[in-house]
Structure 1
Amino acid sequence: MSRGLAALGDRNFRWFFLARAITLITGSMSSIALAFAVLDIDNHPESLSFVLAAFTVSNIVFVLFGGVVADRLPRALVIQACYVLDILSIGTVAVLLFTGTASIPAMVGLAALNGASTAFVLPAMQGIIPQLTTPAHLQQANAMLSFVRSAVTIGGPVIAGVLVSTVGPAWAMVVQVLGWLAAIPILAMVKLPPPAGSGEFSLFADLRTGWTEFWSRSWLWTIVLAFMIMNAIHVGAWGVVGPYIAKNDDRLGISGWGWVVSAEGVGVLLMTLILMRFPLRRPLRLGMIGMAVFAIPLTVLGVHPAVVLLAIAAFLAGAGGEIFSTGWSLAMMENIPGDMLSRVSSYDMLGSFVVMPIGTLVYGWLITRADPATVLVTSGILYAVIALSALAVPSVWRMGRPEGAIAVADS
C-alpha cells in the first residue's frame, strides 16, 4: 500500500473512514441548501444569522458535556446516537420544506437541535482517530479524511446550487438523511477497547481535569483565543454576507457562490494530496500562516465579487486552511493524552465557537447598515493580523513533531 494510504491498513480506520466518507458525501450539499432555504422563507440576512446562531449557541451550551461523555463512553457509540438525532432534525426540515410549512422559528429550533448533536459528535470524532490507527499513520489518516471532505465540497456546492435553483433545497436534506442511515451500521464494525476513563462519574471533576490539561499548554489556548475572533469573522463575513451577496449581486449569483465554495474545496483537496506524502514539521507555524490567506477572498468578496476572481482567492484560502487543519489535529493528537483528548478538544471547540453567534448576528445587522466593501475589507485585514500575531508566541512558532512520526513519514 502506498505511503499516502497507509492508514487504510488499519481495520478500524477503514470502517470509520467508510462511514465518515458516506456522511461527508451525502451531507455536502446541506449547508448551502439550508442557507438558501432560509433566505427563501425570508430574504433577509438577519433571518439567516438567527438560524446559524441557534446552531452555534446550542453547540456551545453542550460541547463541554459532549467532551466528558466522549471520554467516558465508546466514541463510536456516541457518534451513532448523534446520527439518530440528526436524522430526526434534518428529516423534519425536509418535511417542512416539502409541505411549504417551514418558518424561521421552526428552522431556528431544528438548527439548535442539530447543534446539540454536533456538540457530542465533534469531541468524539477528535478523540477516536488516534484509537483507529498507529502514530506513524496519524498524519495520513487526518489527510485522508480531509481529502474526502474537500473532494465532496468541490461537487456538492455546485450540485446544491443547481438543485436549489431548480427543485428546491429539501432534496438535499433527504440525501443527508440517507447517508446518516447508512453510516450507523458501518460504525458498528469499529471495534475498540473500553474507554480509558474509570472511577465514579463526576461531571465537574472531569471538566476540571480537562481544563487543567488545556490551560497548561500556551500553544493550545493561544490558538483558541485567536480563533475565537477569527471564527466569528469567518461565520459572519463568509457564512452570512457571502450567501446574501450571492443572492442579490448578479456578478456572483447562487450558482456562482456554489462554484466559489467548490474552488475552496479544490484548494483543500490538492493540499491534502501533498500532506499525505510530506510531513508537516512545524504544524502550527505553517498552519497559522496558511490561515492568514483567508483575508484574500474576504477582500475580493467586498471589492469585486466576480465568480472567477473570487474562486481563485477561495482556492488559495482552502489550501492554506488545510495546512492548519491537519497541523492542528496533529498537534492535539500527538501532545494530549488519549483519555483526555475529547475533553480538551471540547474546551478548544468552546473557545473557538463561543463568539460565533455574535459574529453571525453582528454581520447580519451590519451588512444592512454599512457599505459591504468596507465591512469585508476591514474584516480581511483584522483576520490576517490576528492569525499572524499568534506566531509571536514561542510555543506556537517552535511546535514540532515527534521524531518517530517524521522518520516514518520520510521513509
Structure 2
Amino acid sequence: MPETDAPTPVSSTRLASERPLRSPAFRWYFTGWSITNAGSAMSPVALAFGVLEATGSAAWLSAVLAAATVPMIATMLLGGGIADRYRRDTVLRLTSLGCGISQAGVAAVLITHQPPVLLLPLSACNGVFQALTTPTMRGIVPQLASGRGIQQANSLLASARNISKLLGPSAAGLLTVSVGGGWAIAADAGSFLLAAVCFARMSLPDRPPRTDGDPSMLGELRQGWHYFSSRPWIWSVTLAFAVFNTVNMGVWNILGPAIAVHTIGAGGWGLVLSARGAGALLATTAMVKLTVRRPMGPALSLMTLAGVPMILLGLHANTLWLAAAAFAAGVAAEFFTVAWSTVWHIHIPERLSSRVGAYDEFGSFASIPVGQLSVPILATAFGTAPVAVTGGALTVAAMLLPLLLPSLRRIDISTPDVF
C-alpha cells in the first residue's frame, strides 16, 4: 500500500483466536502496546530526576506524582463505564492521543526550565487519560484471544512491557545525566502518539445498539459493583494491592530516587530498575509456555519478594544487592500479573470486564496519594531507613493475607467458573 493511502482498519466479526499472533488485530494492538510501553518505561526515572533537578525537593516530586494520581483515581470508575459502553479501540485511540499531548507539555516544561508548578495541571490531564486507558485495556484481550490463547496473549504483552522496563530505565538514566530528563519524557510523548496510529489500524466489532430499556451508565456501574463486591477472591486481592501500591509508590518511587541521589546515583538507580525489568522479562517469557492450573497461591506467595528491595533500600544496600533483590521482585510481580490477568479474562464476563476492572483499579489505587504525600513527612519525622524497612514488611504481610480465603486458592484457569 502506498504511504499516502489511508490506513485500512483490521476488522472481523470474531477476532478472538487461540493463536493471537495470527490475528492482524492483535498484532496491531501488540505493536501499539509495545511502543507506548517503551516510552513509558523511561518516564519514572526521567520525571523523578527531572523534578529533583529542577526543585531539589522530594516534596515537589511527591506533589507532581499526586497531581496525576488523584485525578486518575477520581475518574477511574467513569473510565470503566465508558470502556464497557463504547468500542474499546476508539476509546484507546483517543486516550493515547491525549496522553501524548499532555506528556509533551511536561517535556516542554522540563526542557525549557519553566516553573515546576506548571507540571501540576499537565500531570492531572495525564492522570485522567490514564484513568480512561487502564480499564479499556483490561477488556481488550478477551476480544482478541480465546482459550489457551488468553494466557499466551497476556504473556506476550507482558514480555513486551518488560523488555521496555529492562532497557528504558537505563536509557532514561543516561539521557537524564547527559541532556536532562525532559528529553526522555519527550520520547514518552512520541510513543503515545505512535501507539495511537497503531490502534487506528485495528477495529473491534461494534457494540450492540442500545435500546430504551438498557440501563444508564450509573445502572451499569451498579452492575459492576454488585459483581465485584460479591466475589471475595477479587476484592481480597484488591485490598492487598491497595496496601502494596500505597507503600510502593511512596517508598520505592519517592524515597528510592531521593536516597539514590546520595548513594548509587541516577545511573545506579536506572540499573536497579532495569534489573527488575530483566526479572520480569524472564517470568513473562516463561509464562508463554508455562501453565499453572491454580496459580493464585504461588503468585501471591512469590509477591512477598516485592518487599525485599524496600527493606534493602532502607538499609542503604549497594547497587549489586539492590539489583539482585529487584530482579527477584520483578520475577514475582510479573508471574502474578500474567496469572491474575489470565484468571480475570477467563472468569469475568467480557461485557463486565472493564467495569469490574475499574473497581479493582480504583480500590488498588485510591490510597496511593496517601503514600505519596505521607512518606516524605514520615521520612522527615522518623528517617528514611525505618520508613523503607517498615514499608517492606507491610508488603509481605499484605500479600499473604488473601491466601486465607479457600475460594482464592481454588481458582482454576482450566474451567470458566470459579464456584
Question: What's the offset of the Cα at 1:185?
Answer: 2.2
Letter in 2 for 1:369: A
Q: Of 349, 359, 369, which residue of structure 2 is paired with 1:357?
A: 369
Matches within 5 A, 1:91-110: 91-103=104-116, 105-110=117-122
Structure-2 separation of matches of 1:92 and 1:191: 29
Matches within 5 A, 1:114-193: 114-193=126-205
Structure-2 separation of matches of 1:167 and 1:220: 44
Q: Tell whether 2:356 aligns with 1:344.
A: yes
Letter in 1 for 2:375: Y
Q: Tell whether 2:78 aligns with 1:62.
A: no
Question: What's the offset of the Cα at 1:18?
Answer: 0.8
Q: Which residue of structure 1 lines up, in the alignment, with residue 227 of structure 2?
A: 213
Q: Of 311, 335, 342, which residue of structure 2 is paired with 1:299?
A: 311
CA contact (8 A) 1:130 1:138 kept: yes
Q: Which residue of structure 1 lines up, in the alignment, with residue 89 of structure 2?
A: 76
Structure-2 separation of matches of 1:356 and 1:276: 31
CA contact (8 A) 1:283 1:330 kept: no
CA contact (8 A) 1:66 1:123 kept: yes
1:136-167 per-position Cα deviation (integer Å, ceiling 9, x unaligned): 20001001111011111111111111110110
SS of corresponding position for 1:282: coil
Letter in 1 for 2:229: W
Q: Can you give the 5+ residue segments of structure 1 that lack an aligned partner in the other structure?
A: 406-411
Matches within 5 A, 1:31-50: 31-50=44-63
Structure-1 separation of matches of 2:129 and 2:223: 23
1:232-270 per-position Cα deviation (integer Å, ceiling 9, x unaligned): 001111011101101122xx1111000000000000000
Question: What's the offset of the Cα at 1:11?
Answer: 2.2
Letter in 1 for 2:363: G
Letter in 2 for 1:157: P
Structure-2 separation of matches of 1:6 and 1:280: 19
- Of stretches 186-195 and 238-247 in structure 1, the one that deviates more from structure 2 is 186-195
Q: Of 236, 239, 243, which residue of structure 1 is paired with 2:257?
A: 243
Letter in 2 for 1:374: P
1:34 to 1:197, Cα distance in 2 relative to 1, 3 A: farther
CA contact (8 A) 2:54 2:113 kept: no
Structure-2 separation of matches of 1:31 and 1:346: 23
Size of the alignment, in residue pairs? Answer: 398
- Of stretches 113-122 and 38-47 in structure 1, the one that deviates more from structure 2 is 38-47
Structure-1 separation of matches of 2:86 and 2:416: 30
Q: Which residue of structure 1 lines up, in the alignment, with residue 10 of structure 2?
A: none
Question: What's the offset of the Cα at 1:201?
Answer: 5.9
1:202-257 per-position Cα deviation (integer Å, ceiling 9, x unaligned): 121011011011112110011111111111001111011101101122xx111100
Question: What's the offset of the Cα at 1:279?
Answer: 0.7
Letter in 1 for 2:242: M
CA contact (8 A) 1:195 1:339 kept: no
Question: What's the offset of the Cα at 1:197?
Answer: 7.7
Structure-2 separation of matches of 1:29 and 1:345: 26
Q: Tell whether 2:378 aligns with 1:366.
A: yes
SS of corresponding position for 1:281: coil
Q: Tell whether 2:389 aligns with 1:377.
A: yes
Matches within 5 A, 1:257-272: 257-272=269-284
Letter in 2 for 1:24: N
TM-score, normalised by the number of residues in structure 2 = 0.92
Question: What's the offset of the Cα at 1:403?
Answer: 4.5
TM-score, normalised by the number of residues in structure 1 = 0.94
Q: Of 261, 265, 273, which residue of structure 2 is paired with 1:253?
A: 265
CA contact (8 A) 1:86 1:117 kept: yes
Q: Which residue of structure 2 lines up, in the alignment, with residue 29 of structure 1?
A: 42
Q: Of 65, 80, 83, which residue of structure 2 is paired with 1:52?
A: 65
Structure-1 separation of matches of 2:24 and 2:277: 28
CA contact (8 A) 1:136 1:404 kept: no
Alignment RMSD (CA, Å): 1.6
1:163-187 per-position Cα deviation (integer Å, ceiling 9, x unaligned): 1011011111221222222222221
Structure-2 separation of matches of 1:43 and 1:193: 50
Q: Of 319, 323, 328, which residue of structure 1 is paired with 2:340?
A: 328
Q: Which residue of structure 2 lines up, in the alignment, with residue 409 of structure 1?
A: none
SS of corresponding position for 1:367: helix
Q: Which residue of structure 2 lines up, in the alignment, with residue 89 of structure 1?
A: 102
| Identity across matched positions, percent | 37
Structure-2 separation of matches of 1:377 and 1:47: 23
Letter in 2 for 1:279: T
Structure-1 separation of matches of 2:65 and 2:192: 21
